[in-house]
Amino acid sequence: MHFQTIFINTPATLRLSFLQGLLVAEKRAVMYVGFAGTGKTALVKDKLRSVDQEVLSVIEMDLNFATDSLMLQETMESALEQKSGRVFGPPGNKRAIYFIDNLNMPQPDAYGTQQPIALIRQHMEYGYWYDRRKLVMHEILGVQYLACMNPAAGSFTVDQRLQRHFATFCVEMPSQEMLFKIYSTMASSHFNKFDTLVHKLAAEPMVRATLNLFKSVSETFLPTNVKFYYVFNLREISAVVQGLCRSLK
């Protein structure tokens, strides 16, 4: 199993995953909001891995500063087929989920509008968009949305006319004890095949020391206008534990 696909549930992620399952089954849009490294994307992908691929297809899209509405529309259309006339939808009898990460990252134009967000809002409200070459309406059926965004990056927010269509949940940074449970579980699983002494040293003390160092560094090296790159999140801890899990007996 690839390290990036490992996901250890906590009470908070189980609650969010359960609610996501209920809402997706009812064809409702879901949005997760949280700072970098809180596990938003991992939570969504872990849940999507369990969906029936014969019923639902997942199209993942990661927006960035340069993404415009045409690029997004072409990506979304690539997963659709023409049903009849101007009606388009996923192949066969499937439904499709558009998972859009970093929803608020596209650059606002001179009027404060983010083109990709305007396109998504148009589809969610009216059920169609237009062919850019022939200028004819395409009615898009059988699709729904999941999204993640970081309120401390990009445009910080999204148009409220779009956000009102989503059930929005906050994803918070896990507590120290939850972090210890997550990463000690990973380390313990890997070091089970090692000698008992190595297992005892790596499974808990090394993880605890990593978490203490992370806490100390995060509190000491605060971001400033000059040192804006002093931003630490769970990716740093994951990199250390991933390194430990590459060790060989």
pTM of the model: 0.84
Give me the pLDDT at residue 20, please.
94
In angstroms, the Cα distances linking 225 to 9, 150, 187, 229, 232 are 36, 20, 37, 9, 16
Give me the pLDDT at residue 32, please.
96
The string of pLDDT tens digits covering residues 74-109 is: 999 999 999 988 999 999 889 999 999 999 999 888
**In sequence order, what are the residues at sequence separation of 6 or more whose Cβ sits closer than 8 angstroms to the Cβ of residue 132?**
70, 73
pLDDT-flagged residues of the chain (< 70):
1
Give me the pLDDT at residue 226, please.
81
